[in-house]
Amino acid sequence: MRNHTPITIEDFNGLWKRGDVETTPPDHFSNCNNIQFTHSGFETRDGISLYLNLFINIRRIYTFVQETGESLLILDSAGNIYDSTYGLTVILHVTGMTDFAYVSIAGRAYLSPHNSVVGLENEFIYVYKGDGTPARKAGGSKPITSDGAMIALETAVDGHVEEGVHIFGVIYETDTGFLSAVSEQLSEITAIGGKEVDFTLPESPSPYVTKVHVVATKAIDPDLYNHDKEGYQFFRIPGATVVNGVNVLQNVSFFDAELLEDVTHLQDLFSELPACVNLTTYHGRLVCVNSYTDISLLRISYPGEPEAISEIDGLVVIPLDGTPLTNAQEFRDVLYVFKQIRTFALVDNQDVPSSWTVMVLDQGVGCCVHGIAFVLNSGGVNVDYLIITDYSGVMLFNGTYSRPELSWKIRDYWFALKRGSFNNIQIINDSLSQIIYITLPQRQMLIGDYSNGLDPKSIRWCPWTFAINTTTITLVETNKLIIGAIKPITQLPTTGAM
């Protein structure tokens, strides 16, 4: 031993699973588990403590951030979603829901039940206001004849309604700001000009409808009007709004020049939004990815109106290849859309979504359903890149995929994962602690510490195993890791804890 030259290991760099064991570098382990990294070494990972004990099997959790604080949206194995602020009060139940998509817009949570492959059949997107009351279907129905009469009458009182035929209708506004299509029942007058109009209005039976707005066409030449009320532009009349339940509106007066807010586009809206597998936002629009009947279809709302999606102009078809869309994310003003081994790009051309051009970006790399890393408790973008999980590994994406993959050192470990269970993978980026957390198909976890650098050489990997079957993760209080679990067969019913 006197002539032996010792090998000095100044830094420990985690797991190495690539090639033969003999090829493992001296500063890596060919097998390690349950460690966390210090500056140049490692120690046993911290233990876990009980965050919430709900006595349920947890399938999915998300952090729901509001102005008043944050809570957890929790899905159990019985198809129930809870808001942790309100304990075990069910805010949504959907039979057969084993997973759900979530996005937060304007302090509200939009929820979509799915099975990790497609949106559930005959199901819809729901909106939750964050107040403990049950979530309801997003969107809403237009006024129908059974809601009551819609009658317009020109009065003898002097006003500004211009001479000619005017067609009137109403639209409903819900408590989330959604505007319905124009009513089935329309009323017309042939105005002599210079008078006011009185209205009898319908009443919505829905508790979610808060306001009723009167809409009108501009004056139509009586000689050109054939009493066919279809095909005309409708505009909201300024000030012609009542609280739902008020059936009379009198002394309405307006010039045609005041009719500026065109509501004709509302005629083509979905009254109910089909359930999808992923929800995200792009340029202030809600993006719905992959429904049960349309696995390669995006449904995209009007800007600033997340529940308003046109059945005609709000649809984008991604090239069909028999495989479903899995994910979508806005990055650097581009909407990137993914299948499991495909990546596409779309750019908003300031026209309707159906006119956007779909570009094929990569035909060999894609993303799984929960495979874009949430950054802290927000979206997936971290300054200059996305972190994405694919069959080939954990990838950095900045408009193109960086090679070698971020998981290059553990390639064999990653390739051993069950491809048929990649929908169990979820990834979160704690950019403060500089750790990537990943749930794995076998219900355990993998962490990547990138405090020494976010590149294939510097990142340090290690598996984490627990006495619980981890199913889902999220971050609260900025960077506190929360783990959801399901009950192992041999374990007493104290799981479901986080």
Tell me if 234 sits within 8 A of 182, measured CB to CB: yes
Query: Measuring CA to CA, how many Å separate 121 from each of 118, 186, 307?
Result: 8, 34, 19
Q: Which residue has the tokens 């309604």?
A: 161
Q: Which residues contact 452 (CB under 8 A, 6 or more apart)?
A: 11, 13, 458, 459, 460
Name the nearest CA neighbour of 450 among 380, 362, 390, 375: 375
| Reported pTM | 0.92
**CA proximity to 68, closest of 131, 14, 11:** 131
Q: How far apart are CA 241 and CA 212, in angstroms?
A: 6
Contacts of 401 (CB under 8 A, 6+ apart): 343, 362, 365, 388, 395
User: Which residue shows structure tokens 């894609």?
Assistant: 366
Hey, what domains does the chain have and what are their CATH numbers? 1-93+370-498 (no CATH), 100-115+123-137+271-368 (2.130.10.10), 145-268 (no CATH)
Whole-number Cα distances in Å, 252 to 108, 155, 233, 242: 34, 10, 19, 12
Q: CA angle, 404 as apex, 30 and 431 as ends, to 5°?
A: 80
Structure tokens of 320?
């069909």
Q: In what order do the strands lie in the sheet with 108-114?
A: 99-105, 108-114, 126-128, 136-137
Contact of 75 with 81, CB cutoff 8 Å: yes
CA distances (Å), origin 152, targets 31, 124, 202, 223, 250: 79, 36, 12, 21, 10
Question: Tens-digit pLDDT profile for the chain (498 aa)?
Answer: 677 777 777 789 999 999 999 999 999 999 999 999 998 889 999 998 888 888 889 999 999 998 888 999 999 999 999 999 998 899 999 999 999 999 999 999 999 999 999 999 999 999 999 999 999 999 999 999 999 999 999 999 999 999 999 999 999 999 999 999 999 999 999 999 999 999 999 999 999 999 999 999 999 999 999 888 888 999 999 999 999 999 999 999 999 999 999 998 899 999 999 999 999 999 999 999 999 999 999 999 999 999 999 999 999 999 999 999 999 999 999 999 999 999 999 999 999 999 999 999 999 999 999 999 988 756 655 557 899 999 999 999 999 999 999 999 999 999 999 988 998 999 999 999 999 999 999 889 999 999 999 999 999 999 999 988 999 999 999 899 999 998 764 443 333 445
Phi, psi (degrees; rounded to nearest 5) at 84: -60, -25
Q: In what order do the strands lie in the sheet with 297-300?
A: 276-282, 285-291, 297-300, 315-317
Q: What is the DSSP letter of 273?
A: P
Judge whether 166 and 219 are in contact, CB under 8 Å: yes
- Is there a contact between 184 and 271 (Cβ–Cβ < 8 Å)? no
- Token digits of residue 80: 């129930």
Contact criterion met (CB below 8 Å) for 418 and 440: no
**Which sign does the torsion angle of CA 299, 302, 306, 309 carry?**
negative
